[in-house]
Chain A
């Protein structure tokens, strides 16, 4: 007979105000070892658990406290410290899913007792498991070679870690190359961006720990934190390292295309070098536009051009990944009222940066595109696309555009004195010491008018900007020789692509979502993948560089370890396997293979959803952490002691999304009746018709299945999960269950209110229908 201990947490009133802990203490004392504490998660509380395990020589532990999502790891640590296998622990969620959601103290106490009893029953079937160790590959991958990616790669390499830097363009440098000048709030002058960036780019090239892959994109990834296998797709490398950058090839090339590096303010050839300081320092062929005429190859003295070059695939192994895929500029032609594209003298701040850049189309002279004359009056329009909730708009503040406008206004008044500049702003956002810059530019006579411009018109060959001076309540029509649009920052296509390929969570705005906005600002929601720069959100160079160093530090601390532990919650095969191969076809993660006519599970590839368990005709498959016996015990336990005329509804929720959403219901203190009892399953695909049937046989009046919207379900997409759930419900109905007693719902974490509403509706409906008459004989 196993000896279990029950530990009750009062949570400083959060639990004990709603649940009579003393009563539970007394009740359970009759049968098991019981203890309680104000804070089981505190060092003192943990000590109590550890002492008790040793003193009573316990075989298993139930901790009745907050959600396992909060302190699950803490209590597992207690088990280890006390010499018990951590998988002999059951956590009963009596806070988020009991004390916080139940109105009346008696009902809450009864529900808590039932839940603890269910945990004790499940604990009978618990198995000791040992965690896997994954050897950590001491190498990292940085995706994106802008200022953030360069900084992260250098930080990693300088700490001795082999680092792959993947960049889709032919040179590293990113947007920093294009902006020309950077603002310096201390000196009130603009510094040359290239002067800061170029030495870093050269360091990247020279650092033997960094392998630079340009013209390359991430094609595929698998593996987990500590060991990722990444496929990198590399465009044809038509110009080899023998290139001396003499430039003869470009002079003979007949193809001219807009030059992205110059924000399309000039053209380049199909064979080109992006900019003089490009790294790697060589020409490149733009395969999209090249017509394969071969003229370049003929004039090349170094025999560096290989027109027949093919794309290649490079397979790399790394322990950690840093995403630094940057941003794109908001397309101002989406706001046609500003005339961008219709009027040549309406340009973006980035185009202005190229115009006044010494290596730009006018060699640094301030000349407007239409007629090459020097503009005397410049009007800058702020918030183009930013703080804009219209279609395609960016609802957020792009955070750097105010400083970019100030930078250009300051530079132009310094180098082209007499230029009249007006900035039309919504709010000037110059936080911290940047305010000095704002003041400085004001002092120099740049005009600031508070009002967002409505439109740009051309009358008699002149441009006019309509705006309201909102502080005066006066409508203005400002004539301008040049109109500059301060366009917002949006996630780059590369950011969205990499987000999807790596399977990391993106936010609503499609920037990479950080794990915690304050405490873990350089981590993503996928362990082992970190983020920095504008891939994570709009920010300036200063913050991009800081975040890059933070991301590198996170990656370093991971690859510096010898191994990482992985929870052993995977499928396993029993002796009864007859080698039919049904499970192999079921597993979309390719985790099951046939070895010697027997199914074998690769625990590293298995995501532990359990969809395979019930496709096995000989019941030879099962799932660690949620075995048939454990799941059955949960169902049995949660329905045990059902009183006459009492209604009980089981809600099966997937651990990652559904269960977390249910926790959020508690955290928001929404109420639901104690008749709703939640059972966590790794994925709803773990459920088979017999589980539902068993629930009804044992007295459940209704069964609710909540599947998380993006929850990992054995590699199946949502549509196929839904199809399988429909099949499940059909089969259950065929077995004689009233379809009204089964509800399937799609859960979305942020919308926990929706889950709450559905649970309530379902419970109401079942109560209306009444208790299920037990037509089915109990087994």
Chain B
């Protein structure tokens, strides 16, 4: 097995230790179902059928495969408030991240996710940055209500900041090269080719 192949598997196999550090199985079993995670979860306030507490219960009861197929895992905003609240030191957000990685690899993720990931990947390869607001302007959905660009510009002016968006500053060529090399090594075989 070549070195490159190895590194690819390490990063993208859902069973790989790379993701195991994200949550401890012992803690998962000790969940009290007290609901502190859900009570503090911003996503649970927006999406009625989403609850990190339910995700933990499902993680206890169903297979990793089933959890990865659950469309609800895509509603988490990865803010980790659930982790800061849990009295038993669980991290529903990490359980979800793990399930997402599996889903992505196995092809259960919604088409939209592959599309967005592809945009991110290309942006990273081209510009060295994953996200810039321009990428999602056409598709902000709920976020568009929250982010008011005009307001942001005014706010920057009020604070005496230049109108320049930090993301508009290009990544230096040397760093960009390094990023491209990393992508080449870690995403060999094409991350998105299957879908």
A residues engaging B (CB < 8 A)? 337, 383, 387-390, 393, 426, 450-455, 466-470, 473, 475-476
Q: Which residues of A contact B87 (CB under 8 A)?
A: 383, 387-390, 393, 452
- Assess whether B53 is interfacial by the CB under 8 Å rule: yes
Most buried by B among A387, A451, A452: A452
Complex Cα distance A387/B44, Å? 24
- Assess whether B51 is in contact with A473, with CB atoms less than 8 Å apart: yes
A-B contact pairs, 22 of them (CB 8 A): A337-B40, A387-B87, A389-B87, A390-B89, A450-B35, A451-B35, A452-B32, A452-B35, A452-B39, A454-B37, A454-B85, A455-B40, A468-B35, A468-B36, A468-B38, A468-B44, A468-B53, A469-B35, A470-B35, A470-B38, A475-B39, A475-B45
Complex Cα distance A18/B22, Å? 46
Q: Which residues of A contact B132 (CB under 8 A)?
A: none
Complex Cα distance A468/B38, Å? 6
A383-B34, A451-B39 are known; give 16 further A-B pairs, CB within 8 A.
A337-B84, A383-B87, A387-B87, A389-B89, A390-B87, A393-B87, A451-B34, A451-B36, A452-B39, A453-B36, A454-B85, A468-B35, A468-B51, A470-B38, A475-B38, A476-B39
B47 to chain A minimum Cβ distance, whole angstroms, is: 10
Residues 18-76 of B at the A interface (beta carbon under 8 Å): 32-41, 44-45, 51, 53-54
Complex Cα distance A455/B84, Å? 11
Q: Which 7 A-B pairs give the minimum distances between C-beta atoms? A: A468-B35, A454-B40, A454-B39, A452-B34, A451-B35, A470-B35, A468-B38
Q: How many residues of B contact A (CB 8 A)?
A: 22
B82 to chain A minimum Cβ distance, whole angstroms, is: 9
- How many A-B residue contacts, CB cutoff 8 Å? 63
Complex Cα distance A476/B51, Å? 13
- Assess whether A453 is in contact with B32, with CB atoms less than 8 Å apart: no
Interface of A is mostly: loop
- Assess whether B156 is interfacial by the CB under 8 Å rule: no
- Assess whether B126 is interfacial by the CB under 8 Å rule: no
- Assess whether B88 is interfacial by the CB under 8 Å rule: yes
A389-B89, A454-B85 are contacts. A466–B32 as well, Cβ < 8 Å?
no
Most buried by B among A467, A469, A476: A467
Residue of B nearest to A393 (CB): B87
B171 to chain A minimum Cβ distance, whole angstroms, is: 38
Complex Cα distance A387/B32, Å? 10
B71 to chain A minimum Cβ distance, whole angstroms, is: 17
Residue of A nearest to B81 (CB): A454
Complex Cα distance A466/B37, Å? 10
Complex Cα distance A468/B85, Å? 13
A383-B87, A452-B35, A467-B35 are contacts. A473–B40 as well, Cβ < 8 Å?
no
Complex Cα distance A241/B41, Å? 60
Complex Cα distance A390/B34, Å? 15
- Assess whether A470 is in contact with B53, with CB atoms less than 8 Å apart: yes
Q: Which residues of A contact B40 (CB under 8 A)?
A: 337, 454-455, 466
Complex Cα distance A337/B81, Å? 11
Residue of A nearest to B54 (CB): A473
Q: Which residues of A contact B53 (CB under 8 A)?
A: 468, 470
Q: Which residues of A contact B32 (CB under 8 A)?
A: 387, 426, 452
Q: Which residues of A contact B85 (CB under 8 A)?
A: 337, 454
- Assess whether A468 is in contact with B89, with CB atoms less than 8 Å apart: no
Of the candidates A389, A470, A476, the one whose C-beta lies within 8 Å of that of B33 is A470
A338 to chain B minimum Cβ distance, whole angstroms, is: 11
Complex Cα distance A466/B42, Å? 11
Q: Which residues of A contact B39 (CB under 8 A)?
A: 451-455, 466-468, 475-476
Of the candidates B34, B38, B54, B81, the one whose C-beta lies within 8 Å of that of A426 is B34
- Assess whether A452 is in contact with B36, with CB atoms less than 8 Å apart: yes
Binary interface encoding of chain B residues 99-120 relative to chain A, with 1 for a CB under 8 A from any of its CBs, else 0: 0000000000000000000000
Residue of B nearest to A388 (CB): B87
Q: Which residues of A contact B51 (CB under 8 A)?
A: 468, 473
Complex Cα distance A698/B85, Å? 62
Q: Which residues of B contact A455 (CB under 8 A)?
A: 39-40
Most buried by A among B35, B37, B40, B45: B35
Complex Cα distance A475/B36, Å? 10
Most buried by A among B32, B34, B44, B88: B34
Q: Which residues of A contact B88 (CB under 8 A)?
A: 389
Q: Which residues of A contact B33 (CB under 8 A)?
A: 470
Binary interface encoding of chain B residues 79-93 relative to chain A, with 1 for a CB under 8 A from any of its CBs, else 0: 001001111110000
B195 to chain A minimum Cβ distance, whole angstroms, is: 33
Most buried by B among A387, A388, A473: A473
Residue of A nearest to B39 (CB): A454
Q: Which residues of B contact A393 (CB under 8 A)?
A: 87
Residue of B nearest to A449 (CB): B35
Q: Which residues of A contact B44 (CB under 8 A)?
A: 468, 475
B38 to chain A minimum Cβ distance, whole angstroms, is: 4
Residue of A nearest to B49 (CB): A473
A386 to chain B minimum Cβ distance, whole angstroms, is: 9
- Assess whether A454 is in contact with B89, with CB atoms less than 8 Å apart: no
Residue of A nearest to B87 (CB): A388
Q: Which residues of B contact A453 (CB under 8 A)?
A: 36, 39
Q: Which residues of B contact A452 (CB under 8 A)?
A: 32, 34-36, 39, 87
Q: Which residues of B contact A466 (CB under 8 A)?
A: 39-40
B39 to chain A minimum Cβ distance, whole angstroms, is: 3
Q: Which residues of B contact A476 (CB under 8 A)?
A: 39
A285 to chain B minimum Cβ distance, whole angstroms, is: 43
Residue of B nearest to A470 (CB): B35
Complex Cα distance A426/B40, Å? 15
Q: Which residues of A contact B34 (CB under 8 A)?
A: 383, 426, 451-452, 470
Complex Cα distance A451/B41, Å? 14
Complex Cα distance A337/B51, Å? 20
Q: Which residues of B contact A426 (CB under 8 A)?
A: 32, 34
Complex Cα distance A468/B41, Å? 10
Q: Which residues of A contact B41 (CB under 8 A)?
A: 475
Residue of A nearest to B52 (CB): A468
Complex Cα distance A389/B87, Å? 5
Complex Cα distance A742/B53, Å? 53
Complex Cα distance A383/B39, Å? 15
Q: Which residues of A contact B86 (CB under 8 A)?
A: 390
Complex Cα distance A455/B38, Å? 11
Q: Which residues of A contact B35 (CB under 8 A)?
A: 450-452, 467-470
Residue of A nearest to B86 (CB): A390
B54 to chain A minimum Cβ distance, whole angstroms, is: 7
Residue of A nearest to B44 (CB): A475
Residue of A nearest to B35 (CB): A468
B61 to chain A minimum Cβ distance, whole angstroms, is: 15
Q: Which residues of B contact A388 (CB under 8 A)?
A: 87
